A = this chain, B = another copy of it.
Amino acid sequence: MSAPAIYNFSAGPAVLPEAVLRTAQQEMLDYNGTGFPVMSMSHRSEMFMSILHHAEQDLRQLLNIPNNYKILFLQGGATTQFNMAAMNLAHGFKRADAVVTGNWSRIAYEQMQLLGDTQIHLAAHGGELFDYTDLPAPDTWDIAPDSAFVHFAINETVNGLQYQDVPKLSDGMPPLVCDMSSEILSRSFNVADYGLIYAGAQKNIGPSGATVVIIREDLLERCPKNIPNVFSYRAHIEKNGMYNTPATYPIYISGLVFRWLQSQGGVKKIEQINRIKAETLYSAIDNSGGFYTNKIHPNARSKMNVVFQTQSSELDKTFVLEAELAGLKLLKGYPSVGGMRASIYNAMPLEGVQALRDFMLDFQRRYG
Looking at chain A, what size class is its interface with the partner chain? 35 or more
**A24-B28, A42-B12 as given contacts; A249 in contact with B250, CB under 8 Å:** yes
Contact flag A43-B209 (CB < 8 Å), given A76-B75, A83-B228, A230-B111: no
65-86 of chain A: CB within 8 A of chain B:
75-80, 83
Question: Main secondary structure on chain A at its contact with chain B?
Answer: loop
8 A Cβ contacts from A208-226 to B? 208-210, 226
Q: A248 with B111: in contact, given A13-B40, A37-B21 (CB under 8 Å)? A: no
The reply to whether B209 and A249 contact each other, CB–CB distance below 8 Å, is yes
Known: A76-B75, A80-B76. A207 touches B248 (CB 8 A): yes
Q: Does A228 lie within 8 Å of B45, measured CB to CB? A: no
A247 and B229 CA atoms in complex are apart in Å by 21
A41 to B21 CA separation, bound complex (whole angstroms): 13
Chain B residues lying within 8 Å of A43, measured Cβ to Cβ, are 13, 208
Question: Which of B25, B75, B247 is within 8 Å of A25, CB to CB?
Answer: B25
Contact (A29, B18) CB under 8 Å given A200-B245, A230-B83, A249-B209: yes
Contact B111 A3 (CB under 8 A): no
Determine the distance from Cα of A83 to Cα of B211 in the docked complex, in whole angstroms.
Answer: 20
B40 touches A29 (CB 8 A): no
A172 within 8 A of B: no
A36 within 8 A of B: yes
Asked if A39 CB lies within 8 Å of chain B CBs, one says: yes
B79 touches A243 (CB 8 A): yes
Residue A114 CB within 8 A of the other chain: yes
Whether A231 contacts B18 by the Cβ 8 Å rule is no
| A6, B24: Cα distance in complex, Å | 20
Distance of A231 from chain B, by nearest CB (Å): 7
Contacts of A209 in B (CB 8 A): 75, 209-210, 247-250
Given contacts A111-B229, A209-B209, A249-B253, could you give 16 more A-B pairs where the C-beta distance is less than 8 Å?
A13-B40, A13-B43, A13-B245, A21-B29, A22-B28, A79-B230, A79-B243, A83-B228, A83-B231, A200-B245, A202-B245, A207-B247, A207-B249, A209-B248, A209-B250, A250-B250
Task: List 27 A–B pairs whose Cβ atoms lie within 8 Å, in order of A's numbering.
Answer: A8-B36, A10-B45, A13-B40, A13-B42, A13-B248, A14-B42, A15-B40, A25-B25, A35-B327, A35-B329, A45-B330, A75-B247, A76-B76, A78-B244, A80-B230, A83-B228, A111-B228, A111-B230, A200-B245, A202-B245, A207-B247, A208-B245, A208-B247, A209-B209, A209-B248, A249-B249, A249-B250
